[in-house]
Amino acid sequence: MYTNEPNDLGVVFRKTLGHYTVHTHGRDIDCELSSRIHKQLIYPSADPSSLRHRVMSVREIDHVDPVAIGDQVRFVEAGAGRGLIVEILPRRTRLSRAMPVPGQRVFEQVIVSNADQVVTVFAAAHPTPKWGLLDRYLVTAEAAGLPSLIVITKTDLAAQNPDLEADLETYRRIGYTILQISSVTGEGIPELIQALRGKTSVLVGKSGVGKTSLLNALQPELGLRVKAVGQGDVGKGRHTTSHLQMFELDFGGHLVDTPGMREFGLWNIAPEDLAYLFPELSARVGRCKFGLGCRHDHEPGCAIRQAVTAGEVSPYRYKSYLNLRSEL
Ligand SMILES: Nc1nc2c(ncn2[C@@H]2O[C@H](COP(=O)(O)OP(=O)(O)OP(=O)(O)O)[C@@H](O)[C@H]2O)c(=O)[nH]1
Ligand SMILES: [Mg+2]
Ligand SMILES: [Zn+2]
């Protein structure tokens, strides 16, 4: 019945159960999903080999949504700001995590599609950074083929974390870009604007690190809700941001705010590929005594362990590698 209508293109900015906010030409359209897409449950992807046509059981369907934030969709307008999504265009990139469902299996959750870069957010203090989580984000971004930017927030509290500079130096040496920002004093905001301009970026980081505060600092008129000072322990209480949402930046580009994610399981990474996703390890893969068969654990003549001993690779990053590998 809609086929005679010209279809419009838009981008999914936000979603709540069964409803998708599709942004098009500066307007938001409240869309539902055509039953055809629901039935087919095809995951469009830039990689044609990963197209899945398999019919899932009803129980499984509860845990997957064929539409992700960032998807380019074709929709038909039904008037009064409402519409129906009829097609999801192939994804250029996708940032995914593993979502285990007890008693079932592990599902892929596409956090954001078509992003250009991942912005990993950690606070200088409150909460104290846990770098193992950063390594998890960096590996996920590398696996998705996306560059990462490390943003340290709350630099006005940096005096409370005497280890910060030495810790960051590890990542600087690997080649990651680090920006230090305070949403309170405005330090680092011009550099952040420079790094975000014209790109679609995704903020990832645990609850309370100040992701939404960054958005407010960049674009005060958004007036987004952030955790009130003194509202329980930062990072322990309820998440302040409850939904993934994409925002258009006045200076050009898009930024996706995410709720702090407690679990961030690696999705679809083969154990033997993990070392390639650590830039400082990848060049050493294949130089071990056991060649490509080396797991870089207790094997004799391991080039990667030798590099750790020689001080060329950070022992923390190596430990992260072993931790993540044990999960795969
Ligand atoms: N001192 C200081 N406090 C900050 C800064 N940025 C954010 N905060 C405070 O940190 C708390 C958490 O900030 P949010 O922006 O809500 O954190 P979030 O990462 O969006 O958290 P979730 O939405 O729960 O994932 C709030 O009380 C902010 O006022 C900063 O640069 N300096
Ligand atoms: Mg938030
Ligand atoms: Zn090895």
1: in domain:
no
Query: Are the CB atoms for 96 and 104 separated by under 8 Å?
Result: no
Q: Rounded distance, CA 255 to CA 207, Å?
A: 17
CATH at residue 191: 3.40.50.300
CATH at residue 286: 1.10.40.50
Total domain count, the chain: 3
- Residue 231 CA: nearest ligand 1 atom is 27
**Is residue 298 located within the same domain as residue 247?**
no
pLDDT (0 to 100) of residue 50: 45
**Is residue 218 located within the same domain as residue 308?**
no
**Is residue 282 located within the same domain as residue 232?**
no
Average pLDDT of each block of 10 consecutive residues along the chain (328 residues)?
A: 66 92 95 80 43 48 79 93 94 93 84 97 96 97 97 97 97 98 96 98 96 94 75 54 91 95 90 96 94 94 97 97 96
Range of the domain at 75: 8-91
**Is residue 193 located within the same domain as residue 216?**
yes
**Is residue 185 located within the same domain as residue 56?**
no
136 Cα: distance to centroid of ligand 3 (angstroms): 20
**Is residue 155 located within the same domain as residue 232?**
yes
The two structure tokens encoding residue 241: 């941001």
- Residue 258 CA: nearest ligand 1 atom is 25
pLDDT (0 to 100) of residue 7: 78
The two structure tokens encoding residue 72: 């380019």
**Is residue 190 located within the same domain as residue 221?**
yes
**Is residue 123 located within the same domain as residue 12?**
no
Neighbours of 243 (CB within 10 A): 13
Q: Identify which of 122, 226, 241 to mutate to test ligand 1's pocket (most ligand atoms within 8 A of the CB).
A: 226
pLDDT (0 to 100) of residue 107: 86
Q: Let me know how long the chain is.
A: 328
**Is residue 180 located within the same domain as residue 229?**
yes
Within 8 A by CB and 6+ apart from 62, the residues are: none
